[in-house]
C-alpha cells in the first residue's frame, strides 16, 4: 500500500488501496498533476510597440485581480470611490487613462528603444533597467508624473489605453476568448 504523500500540503492522503478502482502502478497521478500545473504556469511577457515603431515595452502578464480592482477604483472620480457609489460605478464613470497608466506602470519590465543596426536596446541607468515611473524617465521628458511621461512617449492618450488593453488581454482580463490564444488549453 502506497501513499504518495510529501507532507507539503499539511493534510492527509488516502492510500491508493483505499480508493475504489485505484491500482498501485508505481506511477503517481499526483506527480503528473503537479508537473502539468508547473509546466502551464510559465507566463510569457507581452511586447507592446509604441506608435512609430522605435520604442517598445515588455510587460509581464501576471496581474492579480486585487491590483486590477484597486486600479479600477482609483480611476473613479473621488466622490465615487467609497461605499455604494464605488459598487454601483460603471466603466463610463471611470477614467480609462488613469487605469491604463496604472496597468502599464505596474506591468512594464523593460523599456526598449530601436538603436542603430535595428538592434533593440534596454533603456537603463547605471546598469539597471528603468521603469516608467523612475525619476530619470520623468526628468528626461520634463514630466511631473507618469501620465505626462506616457503621453509624451506614446503621443496620444488613446494609444496608451490601447497598449494597456493589449497587456490586459494577454493577462486574460479582456478579449473575446478571455485573453487566451486559440491553442491554449482551458
pLDDT tens string 91-113: 666 788 999 999 999 999 999 99
144 or 174: which carries more pLDDT confidence? 144
Closest CA to 76 of 93, 62, 61: 93
For residues 51 and 24, give the distance between their C-alpha atoms in angstroms, rounded to a whole number. Answer: 59
pLDDT at 22: 54
Domains of the chain, earliest start first = 46-171 (3.30.2220)
Residue 53's Cα: distance from chain center in Å? 22
Mean pLDDT of 170-181: 62
pTM beyond cutoff 0.85:
no
Amino acid at each position: 500500500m502506497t501513499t504518495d504523500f510529501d507532507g507539503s500540503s499539511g493534510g492527509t492522503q488516502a492510500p491508493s488501496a483505499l480508493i475504489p478502482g485505484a491500482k498501485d502502478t508505481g506511477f503517481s497521478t499526483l506527480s503528473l498533476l503537479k508537473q502539468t500545473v508547473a509546466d502551464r504556469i510559465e507566463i510569457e511577457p507581452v511586447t507592446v510597440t509604441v506608435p512609430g515603431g522605435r520604442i517598445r515595452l515588455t510587460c509581464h502578464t501576471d496581474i492579480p485581480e486585487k491590483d486590477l480592482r484597486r486600479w479600477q477604483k482609483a480611476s473613479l472620480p473621488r466622490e465615487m470611490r467609497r461605499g455604494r457609489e464605488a459598487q454601483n460605478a460603471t466603466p463610463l464613470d471611470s477614467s480609462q487613462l488613469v487605469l491604463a497608466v496604472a496597468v502599464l506602470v505596474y506591468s512594464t519590465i523593460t523599456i526598449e528603444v530601436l538603436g542603430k543596426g535595428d538592434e533593440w536596446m534596454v533603456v537603463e541607468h547605471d546598469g539597471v533597467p528603468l521603469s516608467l515611473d523612475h525619476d530619470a524617465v520623468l526628468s528626461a521628458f520634463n514630466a511631473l508624473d507618469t501620465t505626462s511621461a506616457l503621453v509624451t512617449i506614446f503621443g496620444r492618450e488613446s494609444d496608451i489605453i490601447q497598449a494597456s488593453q493589449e497587456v490586459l488581454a494577454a493577462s486574460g482580463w479582456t478579449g473575446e476568448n478571455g485573453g487566451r490564444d486559440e491553442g491554449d488549453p482551458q
